[in-house]
Amino acid sequence: MPLIEELLIGVASHGLPGAPAVVSHDYLDAAVWTGLVRQARRQQLLGWMGVAVIDEVLVASDDQLDELRRIELEWFVRLQPHRRLLLECAAEFDRQGIDYLALDGLALTHVVGLQFGQCSVGDVELIVAADSFPAAYSALEVRFDAVADLSSKTDPRPDATLRLDTGTIRLGRSIVSGPFGYRVDHAGLRSGGKAINIDDATIQTVDANIHMVAACYRAALDRSTPTLGALRDVATLADGSYTDPQTVVELAVSWRGAAPLAAGLRVAFDRLHCDEPDLVRWAASTPVSSIDRAFMASYGAFDRPTSTISAGLVLVDGWRERIDLTSIQEKYRYPIAKGRVGSGSIDRLPYE
């Protein structure tokens, strides 16, 4: 394993049960230090790198520590627009009477009580009920004078993305798009809602158990490789200090999402150097049905744009909902789904 990657994984694992007591035994030369800082920024690990230096498991000279503090401050300043965007979105939804849930790293930081920078922070992520979705993205378009991107090759109910000079807002109907997102019960999300306070404003988010399920879903299903910071989020939530592992499993099973929960856990703990909690042992023994295996594969099949749509059509209950999804498919000019899994057409698979 290359030295910088080994150091990064040590930083990402720091503080977890069974993590290495020492990440570096001596000062790093300038080239290695510079490469480590650059990659820590990319991997959303600057916060944990600072903790590792303070705890003296990553040895740094006084000059290197000063540099890291300066870079952390710059990074913190650049993330302030994210905070303001989240607050503005929440305020607009409150004015419009639209129920929402914030699902991004800033919300998670407040839910579990970690320091800013110790949870991965990317785009502003918000979810609303399906019947509130058109009103929600229209409200954001008006508020920010921007046009939401609703295009998608893989989902008949695409998320709305607003790209602004100050950041990106992603508005969805569930904790993940595609077939596993269709299975999530929005009423169940609402029942796990939690109010947090950011800059004297009340923000609606979900509890740590739902954040845990969402983090695992993203680690398992996102088309891009998850950052080490995102995998650290999974590991932070997995040992039971902030979550109830039994509730996490029950939630995922009730949403027929045991497969991506287990896969996300395996992805995280295969990369990090730490002890495996009971949830990982549960994941190792969890069988995956052929249908779930096909659904999970569909998330990576971007060269076959009908695959996730086909999977989604299997999951809706009743012909009215299937017709509704098909009309959305036609509206956005998706081809009719004819993907195949094994010996049977995916849109003819039985409901589970």
User: DSSP labels for 83-133?
Assistant: HHHHHHHHHHHHHHT---EE-SHHHHHHHHTPPTTSS---SEEEE--GGGH
On the question of pLDDT at 15 being above 70, the answer is yes
On the question of pLDDT at 123 being above 50, the answer is yes
CA nearest 218: which of 334, 152, 341, 119? 119
Query: Highest mean pLDDT: which of 10-14, 148-152, 157-161, 342-346?
Result: 10-14
pLDDT class of 282 with cuts at 50, 70, 90? very high
Q: Please give the Cα distance from 213 to 226 (Å, whole number).
A: 15
Tokens of 338: 């004819």
Q: Please give the Cα distance from 298 to 180 (Å, whole number).
A: 11
| The pLDDT value given to residue 190 | 87
On the question of pLDDT at 115 being above 90, the answer is no
DSSP 261-287: HHHHHHHHHHHS-S---HHHHHHHT--
| The pLDDT value given to residue 12 | 95
CA nearest 71: which of 103, 42, 109, 101? 42
pTM score of the predicted model: 0.83
Exposure of 290 in the CB half-sphere (CA atoms within 13 A): 10
Q: Please give the Cα distance from 155 to 311 (Å, whole number).
A: 9
Q: Which residues pair with 341 in a beta bridge?
A: 344
- Residue 2, φ and ψ in degrees, nearest 5: -55, 150
CA dihedral 145, 147, 148, 153 (to 10 degrees): -170
Tokens of 253: 């099973």
Q: What is the pLDDT of residues 193-247, one digit of tens each?
A: 899 999 889 999 999 999 999 999 999 998 788 999 999 999 999 988 899 999 9
Helices (H) and strands (E) in the chain — how many of each? 16, 8
Q: Please give the Cα distance from 122 to 273 (Å, whole number).
A: 24
110 CB neighbour count, 10 Å cutoff:
18
Tokens of 85: 């965007």
More confident residue, 210 or 68: 210
Helix, strand, or coil (residue 172): strand
More confident residue, 116 or 303: 116
In eight-state DSSP terms, residue 149 is B
| The pLDDT value given to residue 331 | 40
Q: Please give the Cα distance from 345 to 161 (Å, whole number).
A: 32
Exposure of 113 in the CB half-sphere (CA atoms within 13 A): 3
